[in-house]
Amino acid sequence: DQQVKQNSPSLSVQEGRISILNCDYTNSMFDYFLWYKKYPAEGPTFLISISSIKDKNEDGRFTVFLNKSAKHLSLHIVPSQPGDSAVYFCAARVAYSGAGSYQLTFGKGTKLSVIP
Amino acid sequence: DTGVSQNPRHKITKRGQNVTFRCDPISEHNRLYWYRQTLGQGPEFLTYFQNEAQLEKSRLLSDRFSAERPKGSFSTLEIQRTEQGDSAMYLCASSFISGGGADTQYFGPGTRLTVL
């Protein structure tokens, strides 16, 4: 049972336009969400995160929105650039007190292609 | 370069052989995680260490797998009697956590294992 779902395997966007990547989750215990970008043959690179007490976090061209009632988050990239072409993973974490592991649960990823 | 490093980057082995991977985390990071990623999937949690203590293991980590983090610095992941199903990218991540704060995991480039 996938607790983090990225239902779009791929997305193509024109350079300069907005890219919107979506992520749904089922575990209501998730309290911290992250987006990672991954190029082929490299490890995931951290992009941006959001705590469950917020509904929006912005960092330069990247904005993450969280809708807790819908168990949905999205990553907006504006404007999109060809260098943004990569696989984007949504990840979530359950909060534990004390020595909790904070292991991340990942979606399967969305491949973004930004067309010049 | 002060990021997470992993060695080797690629490993090809024959079924039944033992392999060992190394991860050097970002210095002063007290948490170290191992994940496995197969084609078309997101990374899946295997195990994690806080300092030198291994605090959690996933059910994915069969008894053929063992991980260590002596002295709370680098970590090794050993797979004994490799099987073709072990072929995957093995990712290491590290983070610093203090108290109950949120930690961001930073990933290394991974070790790609191919079992023939």
pLDDT in tens, A52-82: 999 999 999 999 999 999 999 999 999 999 9
Q: Whole-angstrom Cα distance, residue A24 to residue A69?
A: 11
Q: What is the pLDDT of residues B48-90, one digit of tens each?
A: 998 898 888 888 888 999 999 988 899 999 999 999 999 999 9
- What are the chain A neighbours of B107 within 8 Å (beta carbons)? 36, 43-46
Within 57-116 of A, beta carbons closer than 8 Å to B belong to 89, 91, 93, 95, 97, 99, 101-109
Nearest CA in chain B to A105: B44
Q: What is the mean pLDDT of chain B?
A: 92
pLDDT, mean of residues B18-40: 94
Residue A84 has pLDDT above 80, yes or no: yes
Nearest CA in chain B to A88: B42
Which tokens hold the place of B77?
């992941």
Percentage of chain A lying above the pLDDT 70 cut: 95
Task: Quote the DSSP letter at residue B58.
Answer: -
Model confidence band, residue B18 (pLDDT cutoffs 50, 70, 90): very high
Say whether B33 and A97 touch across the interface (CB within 8 A).
no
Whether residue B12 is predicted with pLDDT greater than 60 in this model: the reply is yes
Residues listed for chain B = 116
The residue in chain B having the minimum alpha-carbon distance to the alpha carbon of residue A35 is: B104
Confidence label for A100 from pLDDT (cuts 50, 70 and 90): low
> Among A104-113, B6-15, B57-66, which is the least confidently predicted range?
B57-66
B79: Cβ contacts below 8 Å, ≥ 6 apart = B18, B19, B20, B64, B65, B86, B113
Structure tokens at B101: 């704060």
